[in-house]
Structure 1
């Protein structure tokens, strides 16, 4: 369970990192689209931040993630310029690829191909089929 302090810092980092990647450092992506930031998780001491990036659009995800990791110091420096009035220390940024959207699409495809037969009807009952059976409370 994250504390309020961690949640506030994670929210601040998510907003500011999105601005940094889109406005301050667009040259990192060669004119392509900047990645979206899905989630930011901050450690309790606020020393590290795990940044989960959505890299669905814009080419090879692994290559883009490697570019971001290689330029981590530049990203952290640009982030520090933006949050220097708000945060005392800028956490170390660790970038991960968030593939939950791709996984959800994959699972949706699998569930869409399933053939589920209808449930068999019980022929032994003489009750009306229109009304659901009432549970018996007493014997």
Structure 2
């Protein structure tokens, strides 16, 4: 995907902010006990599809929680539509993805820790 236009970035920002508020208020019913963060939103050039990246904290079942949220996409899209109806002509289709950046960072930290604990070999 190429660089996003200002219009795409602005629209993605609006969606990200409104979805973040929506997940903060109602996310517990979709993923009990999990803290859901909308880390990034990418919008297609025609603004018809929004790819939403979610990060889950305080849960061991992030993939299951994501699957449950994906099953509630139409409900979430409707609620988003009621929020952005004055800012957008159409409410984009939502596609949810797991943002595993935090897991990757933790994994890399563990690797670096192990490397630093290994005894150095003489030159």
Q: TM-score range by the shorter chain?
A: 0.7 to 0.9
Shift, 1:112, TM fit: 1.8
SS in 1 for 2:94: strand
2:47 corresponding residue in structure 1 = 46
Q: Highest CA radius of gyration, 1 or 2?
A: 1
Taking structure 2 as the reference length, what is the TM-score of the superposition? Answer: 0.87
TM-score by structure 1 length? 0.77
Judging by fraction of residues, say which structure has more helix.
Answer: 2
**Residue 86 of structure 2 aligns to a residue in which SS?**
coil
Q: Which runs of 5+ in 2 are unaligned?
A: none
Does the 8 Å contact 1:76/1:93 carry over to 2? Answer: yes
Match status 1:14 vs 2:5: no
- Given that residues 24 and 78 in structure 1 are in contact (C-alpha distance below 8 angstroms), is that contact kept between their aligned partners in structure 2? no
Q: For 1:1-139, what aligned pairs fall within 5 Å after superposition?
A: 1-24=3-26, 26-30=28-32, 32-114=33-115, 115=118, 117=120
